Structure 1
């Protein structure tokens, strides 16, 4: 989308950009955006009364004002204008965008580690936080709104960053939050059921993800060929593509994992490589391959990659806690059927005795995945403790009822809506050789109930009772 000359002419006089009328001050440009809860067009008059320099709309507000500018798509216009306002920061940086249902956070952390080990000052934007080294610029959504996105890129560049690795969510792509961004590389990890409350069906979910590869400028793409949708994506897009997987251009030869770490053997462009890492889990083969594929493609030496893969710490992703009683607890962010299956398969393979799984499902989110999560936990666990996650505006008991629809063997099920009590119960049941899997919240330090975020950390609760 090319901005109109009328909008571009405002840039020398603009003091700020926003799609939130509460933030508007004199000299700001307000973009009226239709959201899922509010429509910015309902706040046009308020923005004008606050002496906005201009107000950008998609539809006429019902009254005239010379400061009102009509565009076809106010979301795209907002992102493009924000990019210009902040000096097109993505064109001064090498931005790597990672999308997919699962593995985004770990993959971005791995790429960041490799780049830092290579001597590049690298920013990170995603589910956990937006940071450059130890400096945190913010947190919140996996991918922030367009103004925050382009402003953060500028701030990172101003603070010496040469690269930024970012998670790019399907919501962000559908809502054009990163529009106006130039990427060095884009990565596709996988696509499995999630967010159908928003997208409606898997085809719409896939098409949202695909926008990153169809509509944006990038140097090359890195795609998981072992994923059904990844294979389809690799066939449908054109350009410079590196595939990874058992049959990819970067071919996984073997992978071994235990509680001491993992070893990955692969081949790429006629050469064989062997890498080791502290990361645990069969699913890590793909996160590692995506990051290594990016690194090898950009000419980073294998020795540098190997050094970077040691001591990787991704908060809330397969965090291991050992008990003096001889059992292990694992805290992980897995909150989709596929992610839960991947984590529990690893745990099942490593457990010497029982697998005890504690999990719930988020409220106000895709209800259809709840029984699927229950089915996976039932199939791969010896004991299942069903509890609350972030119930949000729903009643925890109703969410649990949806989960239980996927469970056949009720004899192995304990229902405890209080998450702390559920974790405590699971730990009490654990014997030597058991593994307690506490899934769903990972790094989160809150539990959201009826619009309030109460302090809560799975890791802290585990430490309390283990």
Structure 2
């Protein structure tokens, strides 16, 4: 079963759905020629000439499944087609604006530490019992998701950790799926090109907690999390009261963190985390509570959390320079603010950030991103991210407009360099001992989309190249786990502010 005509195999069900620009029925001939034996569509699709004129339809060889809301039933149908694989798995879903990927990695590591066979589905990658696959979507379309779960079940996986996006919830990608545990990280402005407003965005996230999760765990550090709390909800927080809290936090000058997790049953567990920033303590608490909800022991959780590094999330690139250089996926105001605050806590000198915004996406966040970065950095270099079909200069102008909302006395020194490679080189050129350079926005991505063409581009590789050029060294890149900065990369002031 598939939504993509080019992926149809003999005997498949082809879901011909209405899209933003075209109707899937326009590709019915391709699907039917490939051997599709049923088509799920709406009234418009069933009447589409591309479908009706095909010989297989006129001969009655194809079943037409017509529904007024085919996407609304696609998840349940896909689950049935693939034998409801989730019934044989413990599925743990994480939603929220920021922290889904990191929290998922933390949970999966805790599960593996307990000796469980795991699957992981998310933004960076999909993993099946340790085998890595590329990810196309944060949460795959329903047929792909159910097929993947079926393969995981056949491969001996017992527990699956997955990121659940607001798009996936609204578009029914996780319909027909029962979760053992659902978790919520936080909510901040994002995807307002898809959602009408923040209330609509929150309502989409809240769909994960509409009864489809056997247990619910929510971070209440923000008011949005507090709104999700019901009588049976388990809460975690780095501020205020909650079922799960963290105390005795000690942060090293490298950003590594040690703290005590306080459990609702009175247990106290010491945790060491490589990932810097208070937001990652919140992620670790959520991961801990979710792992405990499926029976993982405290010692296994602590061991698992302590081993986690997340690609493109506060990921350091070290070639022997005397300042920190970090690549991070932060591409929304809340995430940028949190990352720059974490960088500030480790910087003996300046915080220098390279930042852009994607095209064909939420335009309202662009000036907010600019203001957020200008408030928290010393030097801001505004550049291109993935401009896609938009004029890159207009995107940069919107980001720079946001910087003017910050009082001049509190505003970062701002520069505009459209070429992302040149912007990274300039950030490295400006860095001195004890500074922290943050290249934000693209994280683990390996391409940059400009005018419909995806060009090879890796922030990690470009940052490493800029460092090699500055150091005059041909040595290869060493990616250092966040929070583990070699001594020769630390600033002269070990008591970083």
Q: 1:40 to 1:267 in 2, by over 3 A?
A: same
Question: Bigger CA drift: 128-137 or 390-399?
Answer: 128-137
Alignment coverage as a number of residue pairs: 446
SS in 1 for 2:225: helix
CA deviations on 1:80-130 (whole Å, 9 max, x unpaired) are 222122111111111111100000000000000000000001010000111
Between the aligned partners of 1:169 and 1:412, the Cα distance in structure 2 is: 35
> Which residue of structure 2 aligns with residue 21 of structure 1?
5
Aligned counterpart in structure 1 of residue 21 of structure 2, from 37, 43, 46: 37
Greater mean alpha carbon deviation, residues 24-33 or residues 301-310: 24-33
1:175-219 per-residue CA deviation (whole Å, 9 max, x = no partner) reads 001111121101111110000011121111111111111152x22
Residue in structure 2 matched with residue 170 of structure 1 by the alignment: 166
Q: Secondary structure at the match of 1:338?
A: helix
5+ unaligned residues in a row in structure 1: which ranges?
Answer: 1-16
Partner secondary structure for residue 403 of structure 1: helix
Q: Secondary structure at the match of 1:251?
A: strand
CA contact (8 A) 1:256 1:282 kept: no
Q: Using the TM superposition, give the Cα deviation of residue 29 of structure 1 relative to its aligned residue in structure 2, in angstroms.
A: 1.7
Is 2:234 the counterpart of 1:242?
yes
Q: Does 1:71 align with 2:63?
A: no
- After superposition, the C-alpha distances for 1:304-361 in whole angstroms (9 at most, x for unaligned) are 1121122311100001234544111111101100000001111112211111111100
Residue 141 of structure 1: how far off its partner (Å): 0.8
- Alpha carbons 1:325, 1:431 under 8 Å: kept: no
Distance 2:325 2:243 in 1: 37
Aligned to 1:121: 117
Aligned to 2:223: 228
Q: CA RMSD in A?
A: 1.9
Which residues of 2 match residues 99-248 of structure 1 at below 5 A? Answer: 99-214=95-210, 216=212, 218-235=213-230, 240-245=232-237, 246=239, 247-248=241-242
Is the partner of 1:223 in helix, strand or coil? strand
| Cα separation, 2, equivalents of 1:332 and 1:413 | 20
Question: Does structure 1 retain, via aligned residues, the 8 Å contact 2:142–2:175?
Answer: yes
1:338 to 334, 346, 349: 334
Note closer, same or farther for the CA distance 1:334–1:97 as it changes in structure 2 (3 Å cut). same
CA distance in 2, matches of 1:427, 1:443: 19
Measure how far apart 1:438 and its partner are. 0.8
| Corresponding residue number in structure 2 for 1:14 | none
Using a 3 Å threshold, how does the CA distance of structure 1 residues 152 and 231 change in structure 2: closer, same or farther?
same
- Give the TM-score of the pair, scaled to structure 2: 0.86
**Distance in 1 separating the partners of 2:124 and 2:412:** 37
Conserved 8 A contact 1:389-1:440: yes
Alignment match of 1:251 (pick from 242, 245, 248): 245
Stretch of structure 1 that moved more, 308-317 or 91-100: 308-317
What corresponds to 1:62 in structure 2? 47
Map of 1:457 onto structure 2: 458
Task: Say yes or no: does 1:388 pair with 2:361.
Answer: no
Is the CA contact (8 Å cut-off) linking 2:142 and 2:174 kept in structure 1?
A: yes
Within the alignment, does 1:435 sit opposite 2:427 as a pair? no
Query: Whose RCO is larger (CA < 8 A, sep 6+)?
Result: 2
1:369-408 matches, within 5 Å, as 369-408=365-404
C-alpha offsets along residues 237-276 of structure 1, whole Å, 9 cap, x if unaligned? Answer: x6x3211003111123343333151112232122333211
Change (3 A) 1:440 1:273: same
The whole-number CA distance in structure 1 between the counterparts of 2:33 and 2:429 is 61
Residues of 1 paired with 2:9 and 2:435: CA distance?
Answer: 58
Query: Which whole-Å CA distance do the structure 1 matches of 2:322 and 2:29 have between them?
Result: 65
Cα distance in structure 2, aligned partners of 1:302 and 1:127 = 27
Tell me what 2:477 maps to.
Answer: none
2:267 aligned to 271, 277, 281, which one?
271
Number of the residue aligned with 2:470:
none
Normalising by structure 1, we get a TM-score of: 0.91
Give the unaligned 5+ runs of structure 2. Answer: 468-497
Distance 1:339 1:328 in 2: 19
Whether contact under 8 Å (1:361, 1:399) holds in the other structure is yes
1:294 paired with 2:290, answer yes
1:255–1:285 Cα contact (<8 Å) kept:
no
2:319–2:464 Cα contact (<8 Å) kept: no
The Cα shift of 1:27 comes to 2.5
Q: What does residue 8 of structure 1 align with?
A: none
Give the match for residue 37 of structure 2: 53
Structure 2 partner of 1:316: 312
Deviation (angstroms), 1:417: 0.6
Measure how far apart 1:285 and its partner are.
Answer: 1.0
C-alpha change, 1:414 and 1:96, in structure 2 (3 Å) is: same
